[in-house]
Structure 1
Amino acid sequence: MATERTDQRREAGQRTRDRLLAAALELLAQRGQEGVTLREITDLAGANVAAVSYHFGSLKALCDAAIEQALEQYLDAQIDAVASLDSTSGLEELAAAFAGPMMRALVAGGRDLAVMRTVARVGIDPPEGWDRLAAKFQQSRDDIAGRLSVTLPGVGAPELEFRIRCAAGMLNWLALAPIGTELAAAPVRQTEQWLVSVLAGAFRGTPSSG
């Protein structure tokens, strides 16, 4: 019986933690890091201030954790999309899988794009907690590099990683720049075609002259 009560408390605590993370991300997407208060988050989550201290320690730690969770979900979606490709997939299919999570946010606009903007903005100077995701970042790059090395056998590993990082930088820029909002209002098919074409070009690169 004692074990059952302990499990129930643990589950209730996890639900409270999840609600706090969801509320923090929602408000961060609406207002940015400077416009969110602890009271607003706890009110939206239906929790008390003590719960924030217990689960996270501070408002900043809660906000960092919420953004980190959104980033992890983005990386998981990207990794899964690339893993779903078959051996016959070309650069365009790879670019579409790589860009898929961001492309969906750009097309949807609204909250989805606001969340991606928040993640991209914090990613310019990431908090220490993001070190936990270093392995997932590397897995994503390695998975893509492995496929590119088959399609582009003459390109060395350092250059392939450089191209992948450049492609990722393009996606972040699209989220942060005004064009992100413009794309949300553009025809979906057009946005997908243009973005996939540009990213495939970044992966393809140009032949070296020397």
Structure 2
Amino acid sequence: MGHRDQLLAGARQCLYERGYARTTARDIVAASGTNLASIGYHFGSKDALLTAAMIEAMNEWGDTLGRTMEVDQSLAPLERLRSVCDQVAASIQENRALWSASVDVFTQTDHQPELRERIASAFEAGRPAFAAMLGIDAESSPRTAHAVGSLVLMLISGLTVQWLLDPEHAPSGAELATAVRALLPAGG
């Protein structure tokens, strides 16, 4: 592995362990086994390196999220949603550092336009998949698919924050399904 890859691996490690704001160039050098000059040579700056590392972390988070979205298609849509929410909660418990880093990444988007654009693009690309998971076909109902995909994205984001901040009181998938049922008219 060359210095560039070592720097990326070290920066990702620092993101998971220290977060973006608390990571220094020296932290990255110590984690990667490289030197300060390598950061400038390969990335131009510590911030550019951390942005590249955050993009890699977001790709990993996207892959992890994709695996949690694999649900039994024979289930009713609300049961699929319950299952996904439970899988997200389990994934957060198994890999807290990754999920925490994903939230940390979101806080950096005001200062990192490239990162914001990549995340927004990934969200837009993910909406049809989230909708399809619940049985909504994006081709035949694009507006509905966008709305449903946005709802699932919002639920996952909110669930993530709740599990990271207060896991003892974070809702289960069953509780979220109960909440959705309570909002629907009888038989609706």
Are 2:68 and 1:68 equivalent residues in the alignment? no
Q: Which amino acid aligns with 2:156?
A: A
TM-score (norm 2): 0.72
Please give the secondary structure, in 2, of the residue aligned with 1:156. helix
CA contact (8 A) 1:38 1:59 kept: yes
Select 1:142's aligned residue among 128, 144, 149.
128
Q: Which amino acid aligns with 1:74?
A: W
Distance in 2 (alpha carbons) for counterparts of 1:148 and 1:204: 15
Cα drift, residue 69 of structure 1? 1.4
Are 2:101 and 1:118 equivalent residues in the alignment? yes
**Superposition pairs of residues 170-209 of structure 1, within 5 angstroms:** 170-177=158-165, 179-180=166-167, 182=168, 194-201=171-178, 206-207=183-184
Please give the secondary structure, in 1, of the residue aligned with 2:152. helix
Please give the secondary structure, in 2, of the residue aligned with 1:51. helix
Percent identical residues: 27
Distance in 2 (alpha carbons) for counterparts of 1:100 and 1:54: 41
**Superposition pairs of residues 39-188 of structure 1, within 5 angstroms:** 39-82=26-69, 84-90=70-76, 91-97=78-84, 100-101=87-88, 103-105=90-92, 107-108=93-94, 112-126=95-109, 127-130=112-115, 131-150=117-136, 156-157=144-145, 159-177=147-165, 179-180=166-167, 182=168
Question: Based on CA coordinates, which of the two structures has the bigger radius of gyration?
Answer: 1
CA distance 1:144–1:161, change in 2 (3 Å): closer
Aligned residues: 178
Please give the secondary structure, in 1, of the residue aligned with 2:83. helix
Cα drift, residue 145 of structure 1? 0.8
TM-score (norm 1): 0.66
Unaligned runs of 5+ in 1: 1-11, 184-190
Greater relative contact order (Cα 8 A, min sep 6): structure 1 or 2? 1
Distance in 2 (alpha carbons) for counterparts of 1:56 and 1:205: 52
CA distance 1:96–1:124, change in 2 (3 Å): farther
Cα drift, residue 202 of structure 1? 6.5
CA distance 1:78–1:115, change in 2 (3 Å): closer
Distance in 2 (alpha carbons) for counterparts of 1:102 and 1:170: 11
